Amino acid sequence: MKQIVVLISGRGSNMEAIVQACATEGWNARIAAVVSNRPQASGLAFARARGIATAVVDHQAFESREAFDAELQRVIDGFAPDVLALAGFMRILTPRFVAHYGARMINVHPSLLPAFTGLHT
């Protein structure tokens, strides 16, 4: 069974769709954890209510993008994911982070990056 870790930054509507599809469509996978860069992300409550592990790595606690990404990677790897899904995760990640997950990472974003950034494109 594939282990999926989902990254969110807010409400988590894309994460909710992944969780529901995994359960109702008979995927050979489970959501191992939902991780957010924002402690107040409301999607964390959705995950907790379904018994999914959650974690927060607050990007504001780090002096550099590299330091944040290193800690985020450490937390994610603690859940041993086969797949990393960025589901409305609103942070730019360093090339080193992206290379670490290689072909195991998928980004679900509401717009074409970098041409159209933000939530209301």
pLDDT, tens digit, 9 for 90 and up, residues 20-67: 999 999 999 999 999 999 999 999 999 999 999 999 999 999 999 999
pTM over 0.85: yes
The pLDDT, as a whole number, for residue 108 is 85
- From the candidates 59, 100, 109, 120, give the one annotated as an active-site residue: 109
User: Please, what's the largest Cα pairwise distance for the chain?
Assistant: 42
CA atoms of 71 and 52, how far apart (whole Å): 20
Active site residue 109: yes
| Higher local confidence (pLDDT), 117 or 73 | 73
